[in-house]
Amino acid sequence: LLPMLDEIVKMLGLDLETIDAIAAAGGPGSFTGLRIGAATAKGLGLALKKPLIHVPTVDALAYNMWGASGLICPILDARRSQVYGGGYVLQNGYPIEAFKGGAYTVEDFLEKTYECDRRLLLGDGTDAYGEKIAEARREKGKFTEFAPEAIRYQDAVTVGRLGAKLLQEGKGLSYQELLPDYMRQAE
């Protein structure tokens, strides 16, 4: 990760001292990926004396869906027939929680969404469970739409965009305060 960052800095002619903050996907996600991201962000934050921004993964996915209506449901494959997910509606382009994000069985996640007639699914959980969820909702007369593949998955740009917004709201953290959100115990 650090050699890649160094290459990007060289390609752009960027002085790291000029950045305002460091946004990091804070989870949920893979344990190893979250640890590597948090450790890198903490090291850079400490060295550069810059604030860190914890960007929840499912919030960033929802934030990517500007212009969407209805219930936006980012889901990540948590394995073992579970998803990390949440429900959001957009207000002024900003994701507002409609129901709490967390680790859910696929069935429990479905229960959270039956009240809504229209639902948009995105995230890598759609690859594993999307059709199962859509079929169960169809049986109840509910519509499920999938986000276009080009914007269905988490990306660093969206984490950065939402991080900038959170920084404006004063949500910067010190390197000691940034902690990944694992949502469940490691195996």
Convert the pLDDT of each residue in 78-110 to its tens digit.
988 899 999 999 888 888 999 888 999 999 998
Residue 186 pLDDT > 80: no
**Predicted local confidence at residue 187, as pLDDT:** 61
Residue 185 pLDDT > 80: no
CA-to-CA distance for 101 and 87, rounded, in angstroms? 7
Residue 17 pLDDT > 70: yes
pTM (2 decimals)?
A: 0.89
Mean pLDDT of the chain, nearest integer: 92
